[in-house]
Amino acid sequence: MPDIYVREYSPAGHLGRHMVLDPRSLAYRRPYDGGQPLRATAWEPRLPVLDQRNLIAQGIHTADAYGLEQDVDALASCTGNAATALLSILLTPEQAHAAALNLADAAMAQHFAIGLYADATACDKWAEYTWPTQDVGSSGLGVAKAMRNRGLIDQYGHATTAEELCTLLQTGPVLLGMPWHAAFSDPDPDGFIDADPTWANSPLEGGHEVCVTALEAVALDDGTLMPEHSYLRFRNSWGSAWGDHGDGRLRLSTYLTIRDQADVIQPRIDSWSV
């Protein structure tokens, strides 16, 4: 598929995102023209913090549920997990129930995320294998297509700049696929993964997908965005003991630093005002 840009990372039990860019869908991004007001905003997930690790302790037995020879205790399902957190915001409780997404039971919601991850690997036509045959990881684009195939969303848009990212967050949460440095795994007490100023020098461990739920602070200087003083909050999928009760934060300046390996996708339904 020559028109698709793919950058693969080695999947692990907690990292499983690959970078996939489709010029056809990127053409539908909404460029920031300077006219939209950028304000702090937040979108709260309506389900417990999920954990793609420690599956057995959660009562999730992949051998029985997915036909594996033996249980695995972690999956590279971050794309499915991030999308599930996003859907808990996007869908009404009634719509979530109809989609078999249990907002009250973390283990059941994790099963939903795993199923969405499996669908995403099937949508990644560039990849040779799919899960549950192989735990190969997926992409933000793959899981967006999986959600659309299930009828859970109608469309998705992209952002490629900090201003566009902030603009999308005015209307709803977004999926952020990013390179994951070792320093990011040890956030400060407030959940900032970039608290260590030398984070960029720490090893690149793989790719990860998270659901950005808030533009918690936005700083402007005469209408110009100040990335160092603006920051995002995101829902991770490593349990509530990680970061700030399961959430992390990063500065927009960090997003700009990793932007060549990042992708931003906002799944939407037609009734959203954009």
**249, 190 Cβ separation under 8 angstroms:** yes
Determine the Cα–Cα distance for residues 107 and 61; give it in Å rounded to an integer: 10
Question: Residue 32's pLDDT is what?
Answer: 78
pLDDT tens figures, 18-73:
999 998 888 877 777 777 889 999 999 999 999 999 999 999 999 999 999 999 99
Could you give the count of Cα atoms lying within 13 Å of 65 in the half-sphere of its Cβ?
A: 17
274 has pLDDT over 70: no
User: Quick one: tokens of 7?
Assistant: 């950058």
Which residue's entry shows tokens 């992409």?
139
Q: How far from the centroid of its chain's Cα atoms is residue 8's Cα?
A: 16
Determine the Cα–Cα distance for residues 2 and 88; give it in Å rounded to an integer: 35
30 φ/ψ sector (left φ>0, alpha ψ -120 to 50, else beta): beta
The answer for residues whose C-beta is within 8 angstroms of residue 102's C-beta and 6 or more apart is 47, 96, 108, 109, 112
Question: Residue 168's pLDDT is what?
Answer: 95
Question: Residue 272's pLDDT is what?
Answer: 52
On the question of a cis peptide bond just before residue 132, with omega within 30 degrees of 0, the verdict is yes
Determine how many CB atoms are found less than 10 A away from the CB of residue 97. 12
**pLDDT tier, 84 (very low <50, low <70, confident <90, very high otherwise):** very high
Q: What is the pLDDT of the chain when averaged over all its residues?
A: 94
Burial of 29 (C-beta count, 10 Å sphere; 0-12/13-18/19+): middle
pLDDT-above-70 percentage for the chain: 98
Torsions phi, psi for 241 (to 5 deg):
-80, -15
**122, 136 Cβ separation under 8 angstroms:** no
Cα 83 to Cα 3, 182, 197, 245, distances in angstroms: 25, 23, 30, 19
pLDDT tens figures, 196-250:
999 999 999 999 999 999 999 999 998 899 999 999 999 999 999 999 999 999 9
The answer for residues whose C-beta is within 8 angstroms of residue 1's C-beta and 6 or more apart is 125, 126
**91, 47 Cβ separation under 8 angstroms:** no
Q: What is the mean pLDDT of residues 76-96?
A: 98
